[in-house]
Chain A
């Protein structure tokens, strides 16, 4: 089973709202990732969690706040977003965070976020 699930599938929020995106995997993977993808562009890495600890923050604005409650779950808390933050948010996981061995990333279906 190589399934990564994400909820919700679609989200519309105002600039003053607070919302959260959720991601879950049960493959025993110890690295989890958040990506942002704008239309007709490749995914851009936002955050990497390695063994439940934040290891990479790609200079993401503080209005995006990641959280990894346990090895299976990854959240992205959203607050005071801007319309330009509207995008597809993808979660991914891999067996380990490092570059050795079998380490492909498996992606979830994404959350389409619209900020009004």
Chain B
């Protein structure tokens, strides 16, 4: 079975604070893909990052960084110096290697709502 857990339902921070969104996943696939999406109030899901299971390098993109640790099955997302525009729901998602039935589909976590106050 595949599962994504985002234990933090809501997080509220003040602008310029750093914030980390947690994501823990379960899968029996040896090859899999992890994703983060941002959903602002407008509704569109914005793709942020894809990480392959065989690439454990951490990634930084501007104020965003991702920490992928296979040993703990986690793929955490940190926003440095948060801004009001970062306010959104963030979804972590998992996709297995093989496509067929539900195994190849995106499995979403329940999402974390981030509110950044000025």
Contact = CB atoms under 8 A, between A and B. Distances in A.
A42 B108 contact: yes
A97 B106 CA distance: 11
A109 B95 CA distance: 22
B98 interface: yes
B110 A99 contact: no
Interface string A57-81: 0100000000000000000000000
Interface string A94-113: 00011110111111111010
Contacts of B97: 99-100
Interface string B69-109: 00000000000000000000001000111110111111011
B43 A45 contact: no
Contacts of B110: 41-42
B33 A99 contact: yes
B42 A109 contact: yes
Contacts of A106: 47
Interface residues of A, number: 26
A104 B50 contact: yes
Nearest to A48: B105
B111 to A, nearest CB: 6
B35 interface: yes
A2 interface: yes
A107 B45 contact: yes
Q: How large is the interface on B (under 10, 10 to 19, 20 to 34, 35 or more residues)?
A: 20 to 34
Contacts, number: 60
A110 to B, nearest CB: 4
A2 B47 CA distance: 10
A99 B96 contact: yes
Contacts of A98: 98-99, 104
A9 to B, nearest CB: 9
Interface in B11-45: 31, 33, 35, 37, 42-45
Interface centre among B35, B42, B47, B110 (most CB of A within 10 A): B47
Contacts of A48: 105
Nearest to B111: A42
A112 B46 CA distance: 17
Contact of B45 (A45, A90, A103): A90
